[in-house]
Structure 1
């Protein structure tokens, strides 16, 4: 590979590094600072590809601890011993430097912060999957409520009911409004939970993509806890429509029966048996069938 090709490859690599980091190189001067590709614990400095070269070649710098660039590098330094916080105590849930281990943490479960960050990242992914499932479940419930409301056949009977009794129509509309109000309240509650879960999902997504191990470990436990939301395991799509439908079906059959009797009397005025039978039937069923074909509100 010739010199021009090498320079072009280095330039391309530098451009890629600039597109993947928002942390600027501390060693660059002026206003044209390049994006950092690594941060050094010992130097407490972030370097671009060019200024990182010494850490790859100089014998005294090769052993320095390098991490993906972070803008809060000073937080990775122990305030007591001014050493890099490279370790994590699982017993005390705290960050440690090499000196901290010897002071109160000798027998504790100590791991590198990268390892603990990886374990916590797995927990974050699990929680994120649970939150996504909860969101989908609530979206499904919302659609079920909307579908249940759309499939209500009450309107198909309105014309017949209006001819029966105005009071009955008022009862029907009251029941319909109650069902709509209940549906709106349930949808509003579900949408509020969906919004809360989406906020949690966003926080989880951001935390999963952060390269800031310190920030991840500090906020993981609070983000991993699922929000306090309702279970929604029961069937909430009925909205009292079954009782409503049965009442309307009974009403429809009663109206048809009464209208049939009425038309028989009209078309057969000289048949006393029909009139007497109708009158007798009305008298015998006073408790179950209204005496007038339009007075049918008792079915509800």
Structure 2
């Protein structure tokens, strides 16, 4: 067994009896503080204070002893980490107030916090075996009963608070604190699972949101490219029209320059000729012989008889301008129609489920059981109608009525030879002879006579369509006060009523037209509107 040795006495200076400071050793082997040895030599003979041997050289620092002193000082320093000096550290309640160590455990029974040294009885003595030790906690007095000063070990369900054993009532619903903790932990776990489920739902929703944003971003980029492509074509058309109009002017300019060059040369030739005649006249002017003067007199040419004005027509050819204008406007119309696909793609987001209101149908009309089709039976029926019915015109309204916002629906007209489609102001006249005018609350387009299309404006406007539409889209924008119609197969815009005076609710309006000879027996069909149906 190793016996500990106190080496501090071997590290003392023989002069000052304290631990060595800047230790120096003489040639005789004795060690002193540097300051102590210097004072001794200055005050007496230069010899060793212990053995009186002469010190002939200046002693040097003993590095070995200096290193030993540093290690000795380190072993004598207390562990600062064990002291309670940190801001949030909990002190030991048993330590001396002048030297307090940090607590490592708190006892809920004793209501005290202990450092490592003062915790040892709780760890070794049997009587502390039932005491509950936890991580150091502040305000242990809050864990004791304010009435009895005893630890709070029980939980009263009735009073919903922690109590001590002396607070127990015979009729109280009391359980151990550990049991209540177990119950609350179960509730806590359920709460955690519920919150995790909510988080997962929110993350799924966020994923859907990002996917939707990416989808719409792609759609926006596609529409932007389509619009840029159309306007690039428009700019090319505009530049081509400019070239067509400027070419005659450029050709006139070249002709003008050519004629100017030719006539300039001719005039310059005449000028030279006249100058020669003038010189000849000056020469004969000094002739003294009269006969020779007369005989040598040069012939003088007459004045210019040519038309020296510029005769080039520099004005624009009016026929060319009109033709260019017509071609340019047709090209603009063609290119802008390409934007209709973008417009139709957008209005699909405002589609509504329109159904037919059989209570408003003319007696001659037959409505399907799903309220999606209507046809004229071709039979004249005299049935007392309700106030909501059309009694003379074969019309029927749709549901729902549109009060605000936007709405879109599609109607299949097929190969019918006559029909009317649009919207009607709620409360507009539907009895007797109806006046189809915007001022009377009707905004509709019509096919009659198999091939005559028109917009029921005031007065009516004939529509020139390049193809016969079989599916018509109807779009209403209450804020913009407009009603638009589209050919859903050709993806073309047909007509738009602007500045509509709705003045309240409007309802979808349908009229399959009479089926007198069986040629107009096909129904009008309200189609389900799906974005995937559009091939754009």
Structure (1 or 2) with the greater helix fraction: 1
Q: Please, what TM-score do these two structures have when normalized by structure 1?
A: 0.46
Point out which structure has higher relative CO (alpha carbons under 8 A, 6+ apart): 1
Q: Please, what TM-score do these two structures have when normalized by structure 2?
A: 0.28
Structure (1 or 2) with the greater strand fraction: 2
Larger Rg: 2
